[in-house]
Amino acid sequence: MNAPEDKGPIVGIDLGTTNSLVAVFEGGAPRVLETGGASIVPSVVRYEQDPAAPGGVRTIVGDDAKARAVEFPGRTISSAKRLMGRSLNDARADLPYLGYEVVEGEHGQARARVVFEDGSSREVTPQEVSATILRELRGLAESALGRQVGRAVVTVPAYFDDAQRQATRDAGRLAGLDVVRIVNEPTAAALAYGIGTRADATSGETVAVYDLGGGTFDVSVLRLTPSGGEGGTSFFQVLSTAGDTRLGGDDVDHLLVSMFAREIRALMDGEEPRLQVAGATKERGNDLSAFPPSTRRALKVFGESVKCRLSEDDAASVRIEINEGMVYERVVTRDELETMITPWVERTLGACGRAVRDAREHLGSGGVDAVILVGGSTRVPLVRRRVGEFFGVEPYTALDPDRVVALGAAVQGGILSGEATGSLLLDVIPLSLGVETAGGAVAKLIVRNSTAPARATEMFSTGVDGQTSIKINVLQGEREMVEDCRSLGVFELSGIPPMPAGIPQLEVEFLVDANGVLLVSAHERRSGKRAGLQVVPNHGLTRDEVERIERESFTHAREDMTRHRIADLITNSSLDLKWIGERLERFGDRLDAGAREDLVAQIASLRGMIDRARADWRSVEPNALHAAKETLDRASVRLQEISISESLRGDAEG
């Protein structure tokens, strides 16, 4: 244990059924800890006989244990969380899926029996297995932080009963961790988004947490009860939970794999009966057991990767060489996948319906105020869409759904240790929010100190002819140029039909909701294309940092304004030069020689200034640049008239 004067941070641990993570609250924000680039520790432990180890057995935790689980099924323990604090009887339904032996221990408690190759065995309690994982996480945290870690907040599912919670505490103790608090996973997810961490938290706010992982689905409805006092934290009451312990992303992998297997079988049967897999008959069509285990495993991994690709892209092409000369090739579209998985998504919504009904008397007519997505399977676009439609609010996706629970556990740890008090738990937006515009300038949509919720929209367009995609860089800060602000994220609006510069009508909307989550959406009106991004702007900001940014903006105010003005002048003058240049080429011979020479000289002068300004903005006086642009505009009036009459004539003739 650490000395009392330096108890170290209170880390937050997401002790999951399949994966575990540890996070810490530091410098105003929670972050997931990692060593050597690895942060996710699979919740898998392998036992190995080793005469040199205490008790003659050593453990291997995480990636290695997971990767070789098929090789050592009898002594690799996964999903121990399903056994935590449960009797053998209670756990019976889970046993067929575990792959190792489960026996009855003291007081009827479920235990895993680890069987070694020499026939010897040993019994381990789920608490011991979990302790091994917690010890691994503790070690990871200590090496990431460079200091000792003795205290943790650990999360558990909202439906865990007292025995399951106590077992989790015991696991912590065995791992040398003082579990200062057990927090419900959905509550942690809400804390990660800053819900309930503000002193002014609104009473009765309800939050639905939709958690769809690889093999389990949970939905919870929470209600926030504010502390009522300054500095105190609010608490969450779990109004209802529902779910399915056998529903998750794995089901989607299976659907894809069955489809591949069926089609591969058809191909083999149809084209080359001799290549038929041993023992398979037509009736067993898509039965995977017709394939050898190595092929089945490969197909499973492949199915998952196709699924993940379809979360990003509209289609994924698949090519598997089956045998000499025989190739299975096809394209799977997202639409096709969505049709296939609709019943699966609807099953989760059925549980959401039950949870909402159970919470009904507390919800009143208002419904839920916010929906948080947790778990890797919530990256599936259909899931996001249908959950949003079901609850009637845009779900929160700003944080990584695999990390949000650990991040929230760290926030709770930060609150308990006092570390979180200096962070930005306020209802004002502390720094301005905007987007990058041409020339590296920043257009601010929401100015600092606006109160949340806040909404702003602005119209933009393209600067180049035929541009079919627009990158939107979302920025935070008080300075005028992109390089002096903090980028919160970039997204792309693509699929815009080619149009001349300035014609697309891009509406960008910023919405900061009551919880401080920023939703940016971009909509090109002519094509109807949309794209968006969500972020939590205050993550990673401390009060000190906000003050520094503010001070700097004052110091640089004058030169920043100049620079912004020059950037705008460069953009606008370039468009003018392009337009005038094109018309001069077409209609120049209809101007008097004097006027034409005049125009050519002014074009050269403005172009020269722009080139200099591009190289070094300080080398040009903005008023002079402005004047040169105005002079050129005035000198081109005649050319504009000619051009307009030409185009009118063109219209009349056409």
CA atoms within 13 A on the CB side of 145: 22
Question: In the 8-state DSSP scheme, what is residue 8?
Answer: -
DSSP for 85-135, please give it: T-BTTTTGGGGGGTSSEEEE-GGGBEEEEEE-TTS-EEEE-HHHHHHHHHH
Contact 426, 27 (CB under 8 A): no
Q: How many Cβ atoms from other residues are within 10 Å of residue 314's Cβ?
A: 10
Site string for ligand AMP, 195-224 (x = CB under 6 A): ------------------xx----------
As given in the structure block, the two tokens for residue 256 are 């894809």
What is the pairing mode between strands 151-156 and 10-15? parallel
Residue type for 411, please?
A: V
Of 304, 394, 436, 524, which one interacts with ligand AMP (CB under 6 A)? Answer: 304
Rounded to the nearest whole angstrom, what is the least distance from the CB of residue 342 to ligand AMP in the complex?
15
- Which part of the chain contacts ligand AMP (CB under 6 A), choosing from 301-309, 326-334, 556-564, 619-627? 301-309
- Does 194 interact with ligand AMP (rule: CB under 6 A)? no
Q: Note the maximum CA span of the chain.
A: 105
Residue type for 216, please?
A: T
Rounded to the nearest whole angstrom, what is the least distance from the CB of residue 504 to ligand AMP in the complex?
30
- 414 CB contacts (<8 Å, ≥6 apart)? 10, 25, 26, 30, 420, 423
Q: Which residues ranging from 488 to 547 are in contact with ligand AMP (CB under 6 A)?
A: none
Which residue numbers are catalytic?
Answer: 14, 81, 185, 211
CA torsion angle for 475, 481, 486, 490 (degrees, to 10)? 50
By beta-carbon proximity to ligand AMP, the closer residue of 48 and 400 is 400
Q: What is the rounded CA–CA span in Å between residue 392 and residue 370?
A: 9
- Which part of the chain contacts ligand AMP (CB under 6 A), choosing from 218-226, 377-385, 411-419, 475-483? 377-385
Q: Which residues ranging from 1 to 60 are in contact with ligand AMP (CB under 6 A)?
A: 18-19
Of 206, 220, 377, 521, which one interacts with ligand AMP (CB under 6 A)? Answer: 377
Q: How many Cβ atoms from other residues are within 10 Å of residue 567's Cβ?
A: 22
By beta-carbon proximity to ligand AMP, the closer residue of 250 and 480 is 250
- Which part of the chain contacts ligand AMP (CB under 6 A), choosing from 164-172, 260-268, 375-383, 551-559? 375-383
In 3-state terms the chain splits into helix, strand, coil percentages (rounded to 5) of 45, 25, 30
- Does 311 interact with ligand AMP (rule: CB under 6 A)? yes
By beta-carbon proximity to ligand AMP, the closer residue of 63 and 630 is 63
- Which part of the chain contacts ligand AMP (CB under 6 A), choosing from 246-254, 358-366, 496-504, 539-547? 246-254
- Which part of the chain contacts ligand AMP (CB under 6 A), choosing from 109-117, 243-251, 593-601, 615-623? 243-251
Question: In the 8-state DSSP scheme, what is residue 206?
Answer: E
Phi/psi of residue 61, nearest 5 degrees: -115, 145
Of 380, 475, 511, 609, which one interacts with ligand AMP (CB under 6 A)? Answer: 380
Q: Write out 460-522 in H/E/C secondary structure.
A: ECCCCCCCCEEEEEEEECCCCEHHHCEEEEEEEEECCCCCCCCCCCEEEEEEECCCCCEEEEE
Of 136, 170, 218, 250, which one interacts with ligand AMP (CB under 6 A)? Answer: 250
Q: ∠ CA(317), CA(319), CA(321), 5° rounding?
A: 180
Of 402, 484, 513, 524, which one interacts with ligand AMP (CB under 6 A)? Answer: 402
As given in the structure block, the two tokens for residue 587 are 């209609």
As given in the structure block, the two tokens for residue 431 are 């720094």
Rounded to the nearest whole angstrom, what is the least distance from the CB of residue 265 to ligand AMP in the complex?
24
Rounded to the nearest whole angstrom, what is the least distance from the CB of residue 250 to ligand AMP in the complex?
6
Contact 519, 534 (CB under 8 A): yes
By beta-carbon proximity to ligand AMP, the closer residue of 185 and 560 is 185
Rounded to the nearest whole angstrom, what is the least distance from the CB of residue 556 to ligand AMP in the complex?
41
- Which part of the chain contacts ligand AMP (CB under 6 A), choosing from 49-57, 104-112, 242-250, 452-460? 242-250
By beta-carbon proximity to ligand AMP, the closer residue of 377 and 432 is 377
Q: How many binding residues for ligand AMP (CB under 6 A)?
A: 17
As given in the structure block, the two tokens for residue 585 are 């080429």
Rounded to the nearest whole angstrom, what is the least distance from the CB of residue 343 to ligand AMP in the complex?
17
- Does 82 interact with ligand AMP (rule: CB under 6 A)? no
Q: Which residues ranging from 332 to 361 are in contact with ligand AMP (CB under 6 A)?
A: none
By beta-carbon proximity to ligand AMP, the closer residue of 87 and 311 is 311
- 576 CB contacts (<8 Å, ≥6 apart)? 606, 629, 632, 633
Rounded to the nearest whole angstrom, what is the least distance from the CB of residue 181 to ligand AMP in the complex?
22
- Does 308 interact with ligand AMP (rule: CB under 6 A)? yes
Rounded to the nearest whole angstrom, what is the least distance from the CB of residue 133 to ligand AMP in the complex?
15
By beta-carbon proximity to ligand AMP, the closer residue of 43 and 636 is 43
Q: Which residues ranging from 415 to 444 are in contact with ligand AMP (CB under 6 A)?
A: none
- Which part of the chain contacts ligand AMP (CB under 6 A), choosing from 306-314, 449-457, 477-485, 579-587? 306-314
Rounded to the nearest whole angstrom, what is the least distance from the CB of residue 13 to ligand AMP in the complex?
15
Q: How many Cβ atoms from other residues are within 10 Å of residue 64's Cβ?
A: 12
Rounded to the nearest whole angstrom, what is the least distance from the CB of residue 625 to ligand AMP in the complex?
48
N residues, the chain: 654
Rounded to the nearest whole angstrom, what is the least distance from the CB of residue 213 to ligand AMP in the complex?
3
By beta-carbon proximity to ligand AMP, the closer residue of 271 and 312 is 312
* Residue 443 parent element (H or E): strand 441-446
By beta-carbon proximity to ligand AMP, the closer residue of 84 and 114 is 84
By beta-carbon proximity to ligand AMP, the closer residue of 344 and 617 is 344
Q: What is the rounded CA–CA span in Å between residue 470 and residue 492?
A: 6
CA torsion angle for 86, 90, 93, 98 (degrees, to 10)? 20
- Which part of the chain contacts ligand AMP (CB under 6 A), choosing from 75-83, 283-291, 303-311, 559-567? 303-311
For residue 391, list its beta bridge partners: none
By beta-carbon proximity to ligand AMP, the closer residue of 371 and 454 is 371
Integer CA distances (angstroms), 49 to 56, 115, 121, 131, in order? 6, 10, 10, 19
Rounded to the nearest whole angstrom, what is the least distance from the CB of residue 312 to ligand AMP in the complex?
7
The owner of tokens 């699929």 is: 495
- Which part of the chain contacts ligand AMP (CB under 6 A), choosing from 20-28, 161-169, 302-310, 426-434? 302-310
- Does 375 interact with ligand AMP (rule: CB under 6 A)? yes
Residues of this chain that interact with ligand AMP (CB under 6 A) are: 18-19, 213-214, 248-250, 304, 307-308, 311, 375-377, 379-380, 402
